[in-house]
Amino acid sequence: MKPAPFRIVRPHDIASAVAQLRQLGDGAKVMAGGQSLGPMLNLRLATPDVVVDISGIAALKSVREEPGHVVYGALVTHADVEDGRVPDVGEHVLRRVAAGIAYRAVRNRGTMGGSLSHADPAADWVNALSALDAAVEIEGPAGRRTLALSAFLTGALSTALGEGEFVVAVRVPKLPASARFGYAKHCRKVGEFAHAVGALVVDPTAGTARALMGAIDAPPLVLADARILFGGAIDGDFAARFDAEAAGAALAAAGLADAVDRHIHVEVLRRAVRQAAGLFSPETRSAA
């Protein structure tokens, strides 16, 4: 199919984009890399009067390092991260996630801000960055605000963005040297969206763990204190104590009624746990 007719505007700075979005209201749609919006326009699932193409705003491509955080401009592409053109928050943490998104052609254009704003529950940045406790910086008519992803992602394909607002940056905490990250997903074939995602940020030195189970048709289930999945404590032997029943119970409590579905999600989380413990090769990340 072809898209319904629309007009396109190309603001060159953040202030102009805010002004245009405010003026155009509901009839406008932001476009970044176009990798999700393009198909939606073609299928007429989106029929905006005006597309506000933000891809020419240089400020949205910049990256800054702050103590404890890396702040990625919303237009940083999956390929920028995959190729190491921007700093990572830990050794090969985001880089490895980026390399597993779709195909290279999609990664060349798809952006971190676009992926989070699209809020597909199966999307890699939605899950990996939620596991890492990231936040988004949002610009709008009332100025700038920062929202944790847990507050930003309000449902499947739904966010807390208000009228005239758009994501300008993504703040991701740097991992301490003692922390480890595991990320696994289950796809029928490489390049497809995941049916299940599991992630673990664990610090055996600090005795802390944060776990995520995603692609559950809703924002990801995050256990900010995941010690319950490891018999109540984290040490160097955490992977051996992974409690699949506790993980399944957390999913059931979150409303995942299908036992087979729960089993798949728990097993994918187990892979992330083993990866964080250095027992499972990241290269097999999407193997079924």
| Residues of the shown chain interacting with ligand FAD in the complex, contacts defined by CB under 6 A | 29-37, 74, 101-102, 106, 109-111, 113-115, 117-118, 123-125, 161, 166-167, 193
Q: Which is nearer to ligand FAD, 185 or 262 (CB)?
A: 185
Biggest CA–CA distance in the chain, Å, is 59
Determine the 3-state secondary structure of 231 from DSSP.
Answer: coil
Question: In the complex, what is the shortest distance from the CB of residue 156 to ligand FAD, in angstroms, rounded to a whole number?
Answer: 13
The values of phi and psi at residue 80, to 5°, are: -55, -40
Residues 100-115 as b/e (b if ≥16 CB within 10 A, e otherwise) read: bbbeeebbebbbbbbb
CA-CA distance, 101 to 111, in Å (whole number)?
11
| Torsion sign, CA atoms 152, 250, 270, 225 | positive
Q: Which is nearer to ligand FAD, 121 or 248 (CB)?
A: 121
Q: Which is nearer to ligand FAD, 78 or 229 (CB)?
A: 78
Question: In the complex, what is the shortest distance from the CB of residue 180 to ligand FAD, in angstroms, rounded to a whole number?
Answer: 22
Question: In the complex, what is the shortest distance from the CB of residue 216 to ligand FAD, in angstroms, rounded to a whole number?
Answer: 15
Cα dihedral 196, 255, 153, 82 in deg (nearest 10): -10
Q: Which is nearer to ligand FAD, 21 or 276 (CB)?
A: 21
The amino acid at residue 209 is A
Question: In the complex, what is the shortest distance from the CB of residue 137 to ligand FAD, in angstroms, rounded to a whole number?
Answer: 10
CA-CA distance, 13 to 57, in Å (whole number)?
5
Question: In the complex, what is the shortest distance from the CB of residue 228 to ligand FAD, in angstroms, rounded to a whole number?
Answer: 28
Q: Which is nearer to ligand FAD, 218 or 244 (CB)?
A: 218
Tokens 């629309």, residue? 6
Q: Which is nearer to ligand FAD, 79 or 250 (CB)?
A: 79
The values of phi and psi at residue 111, to 5°, are: -115, 155
Radius of gyration, CA atoms only, the chain: 19
Q: Which is nearer to ligand FAD, 111 or 130 (CB)?
A: 111
Question: In the complex, what is the shortest distance from the CB of residue 118 to ligand FAD, in angstroms, rounded to a whole number?
Answer: 4
Write out the two tokens for 275. 């990866």
Question: In the complex, what is the shortest distance from the CB of residue 65 to ligand FAD, in angstroms, rounded to a whole number?
Answer: 21
